[in-house]
Amino acid sequence: MIKPVILTGIRSNEEPQIGNYFGAMKPLIDMANSDNYAVNIFVPDLHSFTTEIDYSSLHEQTMGTLKKFVAAGLPIDNPNVSIYRQSYIPAHSEMTIILNNFTGFGEMSRMTQFKDKSEGKDNVTVGLFDYPVLMAADILLYDANYIPVGDDQSQHLEFTRDISTRMNNRFGEIFTVPEPVKKQHELFGKDQGLRIKDLQNPLKKMSKSDLSGKGVIFLSDDPEVAIKKVMSATTDNLANINHNPQNQPGISNLLQIYSLLKGQELDVTLNEFKGHKQYGDFKKTLAELVSEFLGDFQTKLADVDEETLIKKLESSEESMNLIAKSKLEKVQVAVGLRKVINGNS
């Protein structure tokens, strides 16, 4: 029986924090361990060029990102799990060229992310404009059914559904149309980021874009540094350990983080601290938990065997190249770039 395909890209030039860990990494790893899906995890290194990066360290960052997923529990010995680099599969770029010619300029101009990222800038690249088409190629090459995307990527997923339906209507059933956003949310959960809030400003999501870093717990943080961040986290003057995101966003955020680290429901955490009034004592308990989590994760990260990881990468890339090339050739035949001879391109 063919398993449904889950496909997700993990950026190589980003430093993950605990919100990413609990909201994206862990749920995906849980699905990879469930054996109910074929899970394609790829590094969209070509997409990295749409933002300013340190080009000299891109390869090292790619390996570092993959190691973090292995340290978090990604089962790379599972044959249903594939990990690969986008740039190592030429079909991604070739499929994008074809899809570009069936995509309207107006469609791309209306993309919210493009408008937000290009507003007020003079050096806007074609790569940023074309981002959703390359993303569609990433998905359609592998007949992916499910793609865990946040709200900022939902529009791109809808474009993927539109372009695949458009091509199927014109040339026959050449693409698997991904499930709509509503069904994606049913599988992955609507709020995939779990929206862990910034420690200093609990009204906004914890984000890598926080330049000060004081409100963000990165997976690479020294445990002692993380302890200081927790102890200086914003709370309130109500002296009541209670989950009330509207009136007590700071302490509510810390309770959420504590529950995730303990692997328990929020209700259990609330019962554990029922009647407690001292925020300082709670922060100290949470800080020790964060320190323990980071220490354990960083130990596992240091123990990741790079040789084993590279073998998995090379094996997956060999398999993915065959799958992607087969789909690309099918499309090339459909649009007239190749002849069909005895049923083969």
pLDDT of residue 83: 96
Q: Structure tokens of 320?
A: 């993915």
The one catalytic residue in 182, 183, 208, 325 is: 208
Over the chain (345 residues), what is each successive 10-residue block's mean pLDDT?
A: 88 84 88 90 89 82 93 95 96 97 94 86 87 96 91 88 98 96 80 74 82 87 97 93 93 95 94 89 96 97 96 97 98 94 59
The one catalytic residue in 117, 284, 325, 330 is: 117
- Give the chain's radius of gyration (CA, Å): 22
Find, among 16, 18, 316, the residue nearest to 195 by Cα: 18
208 in catalytic set: yes
Task: Please list the alpha-helical segments (H only) found in the chain.
Answer: 18-20, 26-34, 58-71, 91-100, 105-109, 112-118, 126-129, 131-140, 154-171, 181-188, 223-231, 249-262, 266-272, 279-302, 306-334
Whole-angstrom distance, CA of residue 193 vs CA of residue 19: 6
Residue with tokens 């007949």, as numbered in its chain: 143
3-state SS class at 221: coil
pLDDT of residue 48: 85
Please, which residues bridge with residue 42 across strands? Answer: 9, 84
3-state SS class at 9: strand
pLDDT of residue 192: 45
Whole-angstrom distance, CA of residue 20 vs CA of residue 25: 6
Residue 237: count of CB within 10 angstroms of its CB: 6
3-state SS class at 102: coil
Question: DSSP character for 2?
Answer: P
pLDDT of residue 209: 66
Residue 227: count of CB within 10 angstroms of its CB: 19
Measured CA to CA in angstroms, residue 189 lies from 10, 42, 182, 257, 328 at distances of 18, 21, 10, 18, 32
Phi (first) and psi of residue 214, to 5 degrees? -70, -25
Whole-angstrom distance, CA of residue 250 vs CA of residue 257: 11
* Contact yes or no for 13/32 (Cβ under 8 A): no
117 in catalytic set: yes
